[in-house]
Structure 1
Amino acid sequence: MSEENRQENQQASQLPAVRQPEQLVPIELPEVHQRFYDKLRAKIEAFIKDKGVNDTVASYILLAPDLFVLLARLLLDKRVGVQSKAVAGVAVAYFITPIDFIPEALVGGFGLLDDVILAVYALRRILVDVDEKIVREHWNGKDDLLAVITKVVKSADDLVGKKIVKKLEETLFRKK
């Protein structure tokens, strides 16, 4: 056995044991969340149609309902830890509250861009502690969740500006 193989084996033996995933439990979305999803989806689609929003921006705005539902489901999942639930709770509250960095009341559907970005940053944090399979189980979006997260993170500065992205990060990752 070469020295390189020995080092790889030694490193592999120092890795933590991989826990077998628990049985997946389907979770139904409570009616109040479903109503919010339906209203939000209809509102976004009407805004896009009325304002003639370009396809690229529309694709980001249309992520809002799917991200909201995902975060709401994670809040209800007993397999998700308290810290991850707190992060999901902050993101869900940000969706619901009328006061945020880009208020929907002033700019319509464009105001959901900051909500989408905050949700994606929250999911990145949640995926550190929660098994990816659990998170994917709750995802109803048509695109791959990790691809969506990557796409939004890469485009965040262009969508809302660096200042707002920084404020969103500070909102979500406040140091104690």
Structure 2
Amino acid sequence: MSEENRNENLLPVVRKPTELVPVVLPEKHQRFYDKLREKIETFIRDKGINDSVANFILLAPDLFVLLARLMLDKRVGVQSKALAGVAVAYFITPIDFIPEALVGGFGLVDDVILAVYALRKILVDIDESIVREHWNGEEDLLAVITKVVRSADDLVGKKIVKKLEETLFRKK
């Protein structure tokens, strides 16, 4: 089986959106979310980032809040919480493969990719409805995961994607 076919088999099935349940963020999450989103939107506007890359960068606040919520949910197992914790820590850590301190908001692309790879693994272990309950992004979560996985190599290159996978899954 080719690597592309293997990756296709790992992608989640995209379902038609059902009725969305509005998610209200706790105030401390809302403040963080709003600040991060505002910072990203300012970066995109100031740097003239193209819409395609901008759409990926704008996923960062939604993914961060989703992962933080999963870490706090009692229905989520320890292993999945640990994966969510690694992804949250990667968002927060100033030193990563594409550091925000050097390249600004574009540096969030690797954070988004790592978060999505973590979510793929988490969705294997916990019920999809639990994850969806915590998602407040505008697009369907599984469609977002599929889009990011399919675009990862083009966004950051195969070498960085491989390093992100190794970081998350401890492959050597």
TM range (shorter): 0.7 to 0.9
Counterpart code for 1:52 = G
- CA-atom RMSD in angstroms: 1.7
Q: Give, in whole Å, the separation in 2 of the partners of 1:150 and 1:126.
A: 15
Gaps of 5+ in 2: 1-21
Q: Distance in 1 between matches of 2:52 and 2:23?
A: 31
Aligned to 2:113: 117
Larger radius of gyration: 1
1: CA distance between counterparts of 2:171 and 2:136?
Answer: 32
Per-residue CA shift, 1:5-62, capped at 9, x if unaligned?
xxxxxxxxxxxxxxxxxxxxx9864544333212110110000000111110000000
Larger relative contact order (CA 8 Å, sep ≥ 6): 2
What's 1:53 paired with? 49
Which 4+ stretches in 1 moved above 2 angstroms? Answer: 26-36
Q: How does 1:7-22 map to 2 (within 5 A)?
A: none
Aligned to 1:42: 38
Counterpart in 2 of 1:7? Answer: none
CA–CA separation in structure 1 for the residues paired with 2:115 and 2:97 = 14
1:29 & 1:84 partners in 2: Cα distance?
21
**TM-score with structure 2 length normalisation?**
0.84
TM-score w.r.t. the length of structure 1 is: 0.82
The match for 2:161 among 143, 150, 165 is 165
CA contact (8 A) 2:23 2:133 kept: no
Alpha-carbon separation, structure 2, partners of 1:31 and 1:99: 28
Partner in structure 1 of residue 5 of structure 2: none
Q: In the alignment, is residue 80 of structure 1 matched against residue 76 of structure 2?
A: yes
Q: Note if contact 1:27-1:73 (Cα within 8 Å) is conserved in structure 2.
A: no
- Equivalent AA in structure 1 for residue 141 of structure 2: L
Q: Is the 8 A contact 1:74 1:135 kept in 2?
A: yes
Unaligned runs of 5+ in 1: 1-25
Q: How many pairs were matched up?
A: 151
Q: Which one-letter code corresponds to 1:119 in the other structure?
A: A
